[in-house]
Structure 1
Amino acid sequence: MPSVKPFQMDVEQALQSLDSIVKGLSQSEADKRLKHYGKNELQTKVRLPVWLVFLSQFKELLIFILILGGLISFFIGNFRDGSIIFIIVLVNAIIGFLHERKAGKIIDKLKTLIKSPAKVVRDGKLMEISQENLVPGDIVQIEAGDKLPADLRLITVNGLKTNDFALTGESVPQEKTLEAIAGDPPLGDRTNMAYTGTTVASGSATGVVVSTGMKTETGRIAELTDEAGETQTPLQKELGRLANQLTIAVAIISVGLFVLGIMQEFSLYMSLVYALGVAMAMVPQALPAQVTVALTTGSNLLADHQAVVKDLPSVETLGSTTVICTDKTGTLTKNEMTVQSVWFNGRKYQVTGIGYEPKGEVLDDQGNKLTDQHIDQVEVIMDAATMASNAEIHEPDDEHDFWYSVGDPTEAALVALSTKLGTRSPQEDQENPELQEFSFNSELMRMSSVRRFGEELRLAVKGSTASILAISNRIYRDGEQAPLTQADKEHITALNKEYSQNGMRVLAIGYRELGNGDKEFTREEVEKEIVFLGLMAMIDPPKEGVGEAIADAQNAHIRVFILTGDHPDTALAVGREVGLHDPSQDASVVIGTELKQMDDDALKRLLTEKHSAIFARVDPEDKLRIVELLEQQGEIVAVTGDGVNDAPALKRAHIGVAMGQRGNDVAKEAARLVLLDDNFSTLFHAVEEGRTIYSNLKKTIFASLTTNIGELILVLLGLLAAAVWGYPIPILAGQILAVDLLAEIAPLTFLTFDPPDKDVMTMRPRRPGEYMLNLRGGLEITLLGSLIGCLAFFNFVYYMQRKGISLDMGSVDSMDYFMATTLSYATIVYCQFLNILQRRSERSSLFNRNFFSNKILLNSILVSIVLVSLAIYGPYISQFLSFGPIGVQDWACILGATGIYLLTFEAIKFFKRHKHATQG
């Protein structure tokens, strides 16, 4: 390809550079080029096969430790413990696999890309071919409603306007021209090009294909998206760190104890039993399943709010979010132009309702709804506006869940307004047929339509304010035509400026009576001596609830930035309307050209200093750069968007959020969360759910690790006692596993169902780099876990003293030994029940908490008590787990130990409350 780009060439040069002519390529030449360039399609990421998705569930380090422990158990002939371990591993894998498959199927349903045929000229004949067979040099014809099949350099245009929002973020259709363009402007300013994935709003054109497949702008962005890579979620980093620490600790301590056992002349079997006991004691066997269930539960709750999570850890990520970078068009706004104000007959009218749905009212300058009489008075401007429009609006149907438009969105806004008022007849085109249309002209900045009214002809015209004023000599005032004075022009110009400064697109409307007859007119004949009717100001309005959602995000100490390819004035207007502002000043606007001139240090300072900011006329590289720099500063970044231009940033962010209904397939593929209802407010529910999940997972992990420490201390004390007094191990590996399987797994899982704290959405996000398990938390877990281990060991030894017996290595098959280990087991279990209940609040006493707010947790503890009792006293389970039927005195010892643990925990919470009150 030449160094000069197609948009920098004139039409002839562009055709020559592609070795093409207006009559198109020959079929044989097209076939050659297809072999050379390949098919006109994007390379999509292949989804993992089912069996690989299942195997991926076993990649976590904690799972590896469990699998190794199971293999060792089988190696030494302990099939009971090995079987229990592999059951736990399999349960973890099945839970994770089922959810990933469910999310994957939902995402598949969201893909609605249809490969429509393309109209191409080959061998001098117009034909339709599959768009995947287009090649550079093909001559393609496009018209209103078409989706662009490739990147085109336009060679003829007839009033062509394209909807480029998916690629550039522009909310208004872009008028296209043929003239060569100097320099290297952004995509939105390359007016002689039409790009893949955009659609034709109005008009028609012919273009020569300059790029196909991955060489198109959409393909380039898709490639940039692949290169962006994915960022690990905070939860993945946290659990990975925890798994690494536990793996190292397990390896060091288990190997050390195995060597120590051999040195103490323990048998190989007993040395492996102790090492395995320590490994099982230190690994929170059910933690992967509990994390999965917590995230799955959060995912299901989000699904109830019309949000689909593609991978589980992303559920929690939103709760850690410190910055939201959002696209504007289609994300904050409806991507439906809406008339919000009308100036007519010297008065301003406000219009309620948003989007194409004809639902809303027109209010006068006093805020009163228009009466039928007033509606009749404004009908003249409504009629002129719609008669100079070709767009249509339609009700929801099988392919659309919402009102939608066909044609120019600006014209659709006028039709929607007229329909709201009831002034537009469904048979308008039949009652007042169009005889001639003078399409929009970029030099004149207007279009007009000649229509028949009975025997009379009338011209309706709309365009820029300056354009319509230039051809007007009268103005409509109180039902009469009055001369248009210089004062009128100055007043109208000032109104136009006021509307424009608020980010609104302004159309001036006029008309002219042309008399009767069937005369053919020229444009010059009719577009003069116009009666100026008024102004219509419109904007792509924010969606309902967006302002409240942004306010909620700011109250939650989350910064919000707008990143859009749209114009600065429009972006700022939307930002102000949704309440996006800096506490000290209005949100500033940074333009893409300014952004490119900043080095990384300057941009980092800007991103750090601003509580909120708006970046306008930015391209995909700019968005990606902003996200990367925010992440380098330690921010947890969420990106929302719906277009191809958002895809690289969506993928790079900690969590990308795409719109499900109107979002482009490339954007949905790059995102981790898809909002099925396209509602930005759903994002706030996701943030709240994410924070709640993090809080509950922290409770679960702390509760789980506390008993792991308790089990470890019990095994270590047993090893010490074995070396000094010859005692047997006070708890078996299988019994340790039974703590998880029978007593912990359900209560810890349902602890993740705890309702959110009242202040969850007013708290600051956890600081980037802040660990769930820090030094203070680790000391607390160690203290409380050690207490559980000591209490269990005390009851083990005290049982022997009460019974007047002495157990040794040779007693491991006796009922007394089974009874003693059962006492150790039950002490750990009942302390854990209390530990789980205490973990529901960081500082509040167990007796001050709304005890019954999580009934499913309480019920799960009752069920676990029943299961533990059945395991201890049941004829088969007790034999399998080597339990003995302990008596009343034994239960008194267990409850006594639980009481000591309760008092200790309450004392710790008392000191926490005192410290918090002192610091507060």
Structure 2
Amino acid sequence: MDEKKIRALYAQNDISEVFANLKSSANGLSEAEAEKRLQKYGPNEIKKAEAESMWKNFFKNFTSMMAILLWISGVIAIFSGTLELGIAIWLVNIINGLFSFWQERAAKRATDALNSMLPTYVQVIRDGKKKQIDSKQLVPGDVFVLQAGNRVPADARIITATSMQVDQSALNGESVPESKTTKYQPGEGSYAESNLIYSGTTVVGGNGRAIAFATGMQTEFGRIAQLTQKEEKTESPLTNELSRLTKQISIIAVTIGVIFLIAAIFVVKYPFAKAFIFGLGMIVAFIPEGLLPTVTLSLAQGVRRMAKKHALVKELNSVETLGETTVICSDKTGTLTQNQMTIHYIWTPANEYHVTGNGYVNNGQIELNNKQLWYDENPDLHKLVQIAALDNDTSVEPSKKKGGRPKILGTPTEASLIIMAEKAGFDKQRVLVKYPRLKELPFDSDRKRMSTINRWNDTQAIVLTKGSFSDTIGRCDQIQVNGQVRAMTDDDRLRVKKVNADYAARGLRSMALAYRIIPKNEQINNLTVDDAENHLIFVGLVSMSDPPRPEVYNAVKKCHQAKIRIIMVTGDSKLTAKSVAVQIGLTSDKARVISGNELDQMSDEELRKALKEEVIFARVAPEQKYRIVKNCQANGEIVAATGDGVNDAPALKQADIGIAMGLSGTDVAKDTANMILTDDNFASIVAAIEEGRAAYSNIRKFLTYILTANVPEAFPPILFLFSGGLIPLPMTVMQILTVDLGTDILPALGLGAEAADPDVMNQPPRKRSDHLLNKQVILRAFVWYGLLESIISTGAYFFVNHQNGWPIQALAASGPVYMRATTMFLGAIVFAQIANVLNCRTNKISIFKKGLFSNKNIWFGIIFEILLFLFLTVTPGIQQLFHTTILNASDWIFLFLLPIPLVLIDEARKWLMFHRKNN
């Protein structure tokens, strides 16, 4: 039997049948029976997916495509006779793998610290007596007690309920709490049965008892968690892109190696063994050994920057994935909105009042025509505020932290009324002394009203009533206007209904407030609900909603500028969903709203077509949100999905990047997500996307920078080979190692920290067909920058030889002249790379416009590579190992002046490109 049928069975059957089915009673289970069931069903806990072993996580950092390429290149280096280079390459791989492992472990520890578990204790009835137990010990058939503020520990059928309201937003995304009673009503949307409660939800008002019929992984909470755990996680776009890049570089390196192998055999007449080693050396020269650690460290820098902006990234590659995002499938409640019911308007027959502020106590006021009003300045407002505050069981405790959210003890709806009254200057505790409560007529889901009877004076009492508009207006036969009470006419009713309809069309939820004076000598304790809530005097309406977060407006605007679509996917009603979407600028008023029921009737092809247009999804179930994400991906979109409830977890797992709320999110959502917002702020996503875009742009920048040095590194063997050995190698293997793993690393990391270009959020997300190693990178690295550096460094080599008698004398293959010539070749590459790193900082705009010294990390890198080069040239022992020597003063002057013309030449190129584009 499927879950829906099981739920229907427990919801629709008489409670006696439920007891019989579960072999229990209102007195609960015996201790002995509970122990047996615990052995049978297991502990009441949500089992997490079996995590990959620490060793598996450890070794995966050493087995990526690029890592494998480096292992192989190390082997090749050793076989080609350069043991030192091979060992160095392997050490780079090991250090990079250890760093990646440490970084992701640190993120996991931070995530674990955020996660909150299900309730620790629950009150159960065992052997007819109330007893507190660990919630893990709860079993099917247990009867347990619930009060306001309790988390529900299991799926259960309600036995008794007094004004019980349950916040089910963690399951269904609905911002308004559900009323729960012992009587079955199917309700609207998922998990809406009036007499069933679900694990992981929260009782926000009233109290009651229930009998558990599902615990642990058998609950709806557990079922969704299981669905999440079964979903295989796909590789991130950056992982795929780096794999592609590795293949491209491997093909280029091997092709060049084969060409030089053939040339060595047929041009220089090398024996095959010597030619083979020479070809292997060329392969190693064209593999950018510093790329992988630079990518890793750059992404780690992105992780740290995002953490400062309240976005905790669990996996390094997720940084770049954010930058590719084309669609955000966003939950509404608690993500786009504050998850806090707030009164916006008060309407009385005489006036409409505006309630300002974000909903918190003492933040805002009640206004009429922009003039602040206190509750006692107008008789109608006075009466309405009085009813709202006194006919209310919720209290609000101010936050102990400055600027923090108050603690609400009760339902969000009643809290909004209390807060409204405080904004009007109403002191509930002081007024209750004068008008003490005599009796309460609790809210129930049938009549959808709540009333209290309070002392009015020595001879009279007052009935204060609030409730849904349609269920309260019918009980009113009088109306108060400007403090005067008269009979309610048909015109009055039509006018009030029109006002209510107008509020509903704006996505606001209205509540009617009324009262009635009765003689105090009536038998108040024996007064029935029908008698008390009859012949009421209508006072007015309050309209409320869960307001959008203040910062979400600008965040949505930025997403639209960045050509990122936002699709709202919520469990809330169609009307509320569309109202919020239009209000915050998410969609236009013409957007199509698809309900969960309508979605069930759509084929995947119809859904994919709808997803290309303006669309909002309302009243959706967990499986449907997952389906929406999957079909977005089928349309070729890179999808980020946001959410905080367990209902969001399958979609978060399926998405290219799942984003969970750190403060309000469930542990299932946070475990599943790739990124956690530690401030629950949608605007933090936009900041993270900007960082992600910058990260990808920076990876491409330092890819250009690193590949450029490979061209002049390849020139020495070319000269040696095609001269038939007459030109000694201008650059040794250890000097190549100096550039690849020494001087280039820190400046490349500086590029990884480069600030995003000013227009980065005005550009569309990159296309999947736009790869890291594209035509522009190849032209800039291998043709433009690479060729310039090759000509300059080769010229420096020959210039030193020319100063010492070449071409009259043969080129020296050893000795002081050779050492100085190779040192100048190395120095020319190092100082040309200084110009290169500055040029790579921008693609289009002038480096002077962005700020020549604005990136301090790059200048630290430049200083480091100059000092490292100086250290290699003046340190005995090191000189012999790296074939370097002390340079003349004129050599140093040449090297220090070298970057200036290279920067100016590239500035001219950018200027020409800019003007050609504008023309």
1:173 aligns with 2:169: no
Partner of 2:443: 440
Question: What CA deviation, in whole Å up to 9, does each residue of 1:34-61 have, x standing for no partner?
Answer: 2222111111145567666554432333
Cα distance 1:47–1:421, how it changes in 2: closer, same or farther (>3 A)?
farther
**Cα distance 1:880–1:270, how it changes in 2: closer, same or farther (>3 A)?**
farther
For 1:539, the equivalent position in structure 2 comes to 545
The 5 Å alignment of 1:319-718 reads: 319-364=323-368, 366-370=369-373, 374=377, 378-397=381-400, 401-426=404-429, 432-453=435-456, 455=458, 456-517=460-521, 519-520=524-525, 521-582=527-588, 585-608=589-612, 610=613, 612-718=614-720
* Structure 1 stretches lacking a partner, 5+ long: none
Q: Which moved more, 1:436-445 or 1:634-643?
A: 436-445
CA spacing shift, 1:378–1:858, aligned 2, 3 Å: same
Deviates more, 1:665-674 or 1:273-282: 273-282
Q: Distance in 1 between matches of 2:524 and 2:185?
A: 40
Shift in CA distance, 428/38, structure 1 to aligned 2, threshold 3 Å: farther
In 2: Cα distance, 1:855 partner to 1:766 partner: 28
Contact 1:62 1:283 in 2 (8 A): no
- Of stretches 163-172 and 354-363 in structure 1, the one that deviates more from structure 2 is 354-363
CA contact (8 A) 2:719 2:727 kept: no
Q: Among residues 211, 214, 228, which one is paired with 2:214 in the alignment?
A: 211
Q: After TM superposition, list the pairs within 5 Å mapping 1:757-836 onto structure 2.
A: 757-784=757-784, 785-797=786-798, 799-800=800-801, 802-804=803-805, 814-836=815-837
1:488 and 1:902, CA in 2 relative to 1: closer, same or farther beyond 3 A?
closer
Q: Residues 480, 51 of structure 1: CA spacing in aligned structure 2 closer, same or farther, 3 A cutoff? A: same
Q: Give the C-alpha shift of residue 728 in structure 1.
A: 4.1
AA at the equivalent of 1:614: I
| Residues 357 and 710 of structure 1, relative CA distance in 2, 3 Å threshold | farther
State yes or no: 1:116 paired with 2:120: yes
**Residue 146 (structure 2) pairs with residue 142 (structure 1):** yes
Q: Which residue of 1 aligns with 2:198?
A: 195
CA gap of 1:255–1:570, structure 2 versus 1, over 3 A, is: same
Measured after TM superposition, the shift of residue 859 of structure 1 is 4.1
Corresponding letter in the other structure for 2:568? I
Matches within 5 A, 1:289-304: 289-304=293-308
Q: Distance in 2 between matches of 1:45 and 1:897?
A: 58
The Cα shift of 1:751 comes to 1.8
Query: C-alpha displacement at 1:110, in angstroms?
Result: 0.7
Name the stretch that deviates more: 567-576 or 418-427.
418-427
Q: List gaps (5 residues or longer) in structure 2.
A: none
The alignment covers a number of residue pairs equal to 910
| TM superposition shift of 1:771 | 1.3
What RMSD, in angstroms, separates the aligned Cα atoms of the two structures?
A: 3.2
Q: Which moved more, 1:56-65 or 1:758-767?
A: 56-65
Match of 2:695, SS state, is: helix
Displacement of 1:433: 3.4
C-alpha distance in structure 2 between counterparts of 1:358 and 1:233, whole Å: 47
| Matches of 1:644 and 1:190, distance apart in 2 | 18
Query: Is the 1:742–1:864 Cα contact (8 Å) retained in structure 2?
Result: yes
Q: One-letter code of the match for 2:641?
A: V
CA contact (8 A) 1:135 1:209 kept: yes
What is the rounded CA distance, in whole Å, between the counterparts of 1:896 and 1:272 in structure 2? 40
Aligned to 1:224: 227
Please tell me the residue identity of whatever aligns with 1:479. Answer: G
Matched letter for residue 190 of structure 2: L
1:528-584 superposed Cα distances (whole Å, 9 cap, x missing partner): 1212111111111111111121112112211111000111111111112211224xx
Cα distance change, pair 31–175 in 1 and its aligned pair in 2 (3 A)? same
1:550 & 1:332 partners in 2: Cα distance? Answer: 10
Deviation at 1:188, TM superposition (A): 3.7
The within-5 A match list for 1:233-252 is: 233-251=236-254
TM-aligned CA distance change 1:258 to 1:21, over 3 Å: farther
* Cα distance in 2, alignment partners of residues 504 and 747 from structure 1: 56
Equivalent residues in 2 for 1:44-83 (5 A)? 44-45=48-49, 53-70=57-74, 78=82, 80-83=84-87
- Which of 381-390 and 875-884 deviates more? 875-884
Q: Is the 8 A contact 1:575 1:587 kept in 2?
A: no
Secondary structure of the residue aligned to 2:453 is strand
The alpha-carbon deviation at position 257 of structure 1 amounts to: 5.5
C-alpha deviation, 1:397, in angstroms: 4.2
- Describe the shift of the 1:428–1:10 C-alpha distance in structure 2 as closer, same or farther (beyond 3 A): farther
Cα-to-partner distance string for 1:813-870 (whole Å, 9 max, x where unaligned): 6444333322322222222221111112223455665323324423432332232122
Verify the 8 A CA contact 1:6 1:14 in the aligned structure 2: no
Q: Shift of the alpha carbon at 1:750? A: 0.8
**1:343 offset after TM fit, Å?**
0.9
| Inter-CA distance 368–71: structure 2 relative to 1 (3 Å threshold) | same
Q: Deviations over 1:321-352 (max 9, x none)?
A: 11111100011111111111111242111111
Instruction: Confirm or deny: 8 A CA contact 1:714 1:789 kept in the other structure.
Output: no
Structure 1, residues 646-672: CA drift from partner, whole Å, max 9, x if none?
111112212111111111111111112
SS of the residue corresponding to residue 507 of structure 1 reads strand
Hey, what does 1:916 align to over in structure 2? 917
SS in 2 for 1:532: strand
Distance change >3 Å, CA 786–CA 359, structure 1 → 2: same
Distance 1:258 1:810, change over 3 A: farther
Question: Does the 8 Å contact 1:334/1:355 carry over to 2?
Answer: no
Q: Residue by residue, what CA displacement relative to the aligned partner does 1:81-103 show, whole Å, maximum 9, x if unpaired?
A: 34543453344345434432332
Q: 1:884 to 1:140 in 2, by over 3 A?
A: same
Report the CA distance between 1:70 and its aligned residue.
Answer: 4.2
| Offset of residue 444 of structure 1 | 1.8
* Overall identity of the aligned pairs, in %: 34
Matched residue type, 2:211: V
Given candidates 18, 21, 24, the residue that maps to 1:20 is: 24
For residue 756 of structure 2, what is the aligned residue in structure 1? Answer: 756
SS at match of 1:230: coil
Query: Greater shift after overlay, 25-34 or 893-902?
Result: 893-902
Deviations 1:168-201 (A, max 9, x none): 011111122445567x974243333211111112
Mapped to 2, the partners of 1:710 and 1:15 lie a distance apart of 83
- CA pair 734-375 structure 1, distance change in 2 beyond 3 A: farther
1:603 Cα deviation after fit = 1.0
Q: 1:853 to 1:386 in 2, by over 3 A?
A: same
CA contact (8 A) 1:341 1:348 kept: yes
CA offsets 1:361-410 (integer angstroms, 9 cap, x no match): 1111x232225762676232111112111111122248995223111111
When residues 329 and 449 of structure 1 are mapped into structure 2, their CA distance, relative to the original with a 3 A threshold, is same
Of 738-747 and 420-429, the range deviating more from structure 2: 420-429
TM-score of the pair, normalised by structure 2: 0.92
- State the AA in 1 paired with 2:661: M
Q: Is 1:152 the equivalent of 2:153? A: no
Q: After the TM superposition, which of the residue ranges 416-425 and 296-305 deviates more from structure 2?
A: 296-305
Contact kept? 1:40, 1:133, Cα under 8 Å = yes
**Counterparts of 1:442 and 1:903 in 2: how far apart (Å)?**
76
- Paired residues of 2:149 and 2:205 also in contact (CA < 8 A): yes
Call closer, same or farther: CA 1:810–1:213 in 2, change over 3 Å: farther
